[in-house]
Amino acid sequence: MDRYVVLEGLSTFLGLLVSSAGEQLSPNLCVTQFTSTAFGYHNIGAVVSGVAGKGFREVSEEDSKEDSEEDSEEDSEDISKVAHRQDFCVDEEEFFDPGYDFDFRDMTDSDSECERGGESYKRPIGWNRIALKVWGKYKDGNEWLGDDGWRSESSQGEWPVAYHGTSFDGAKGIMHVGFKAGPGDVYGRGVYCTPDIDVAERDGYAKTFTSRKSGKTYKVALQSRINPKYRKVCNEENGYWLIPVPSGMSAKDERKIVDKAIRPYGILFKKIRKEE
């Protein structure tokens, strides 16, 4: 997948302009800082505004149904007017891990079932995963990822897989509602995620953008591992998990919980057809 389009998707996910290292003098975004940046903790106490950055335009679900070649200046905000904004660059060799990219677009539900972290692993069928270089990047080793290579069963110490969208809101970046738990029903304050990519897409938490380079429209979501010590299963039927974050905590303590509980390892892309 074209790296420029990948950076556009990464920018859409974070609500920040992310470019390749060397293109501009911006702070470097390390893969181990991805979680705290996604939830607005790169500047403690600052709210990250989810706006379109330079070089791409963010579109709504309704917009995505229209011809992707149609463009409007009204779809983009002037990023110079957004307060508390911090753009980043990435060292592509250190941030991405092409050896673990995987194209799930040709898979079907009939493919063999498997588990990760003692939970059923519903693979993101129909999506293309761009892998993040997380192997060997955490002090506690790689056990959370499980054994390398294809397998149908979990490994000891492995964390289960979950998917995040990008409807993060609230002061200090914490998502209060996240994935909708049902009409008027919320299971508590914290970070919501789901082990089912279809739930993330169905409930509108996969963000949509149109690439200015390719002219194509994509949905983007995050594939993560969730520390089971911090996870609460809210609704097995609807597929919601919660990382509880109690109110009244400092931003620093909130960040510690989020960093310990969530480790992204892939960015997912799904090209939208014009008729969708």
**pLDDT-wise least confident of 19-28, 36-45, 150-159, 212-221:** 36-45
Secondary structure (DSSP) of 44-91: TTPPPP----TTEEE--TTGGGS-TT---GGGS--GGG-TT---EEE-
Phi, psi of 13 (to 5 degrees): -60, -45
What gap in Å lies between CA 185 and CA 209, rounded to an integer?
A: 29
Mean pLDDT of 28-53: 58
What gap in Å lies between CA 34 and CA 225, rounded to an integer?
A: 13
pTM for this prediction: 0.78
- Provide the token pair at 5: 């389009």
Q: Where are the domains of the chain?
A: 3-272
pLDDT at 104 over 70: yes
**The predicted structure's pLDDT at residue 6:** 95
Side-chain-facing half-sphere of 120: CA atoms under 13 Å: 8
Residue that the structure tokens 């992310």 belong to = 18
Give the list of residues 6+ apart from residue 77 with CB closer than 8 angstroms, or none. Answer: 51, 52
**The predicted structure's pLDDT at residue 41:** 66
Residue 92 burial class via C-beta count within 10 angstroms: exposed 0-12, middle 13-18, buried 19 and up? middle
Secondary structure letter of residue 166 according to DSSP: S
What gap in Å lies between CA 69 and CA 67, rounded to an integer?
A: 5
**The predicted structure's pLDDT at residue 72:** 32
pLDDT at 162 over 90: yes
106-158 pLDDT, tens digit each: 887 656 688 999 998 999 999 999 999 999 999 999 999 998 877 888 889 99
Q: How far apart are the first and last CA of the chain?
A: 22
43-91 pLDDT, tens digit each: 433 222 222 222 333 333 343 333 333 333 333 333 233 334 468 889 9
Mean pLDDT of 26-52: 61
Contact (CB, 8 A) for 29 and 90? yes
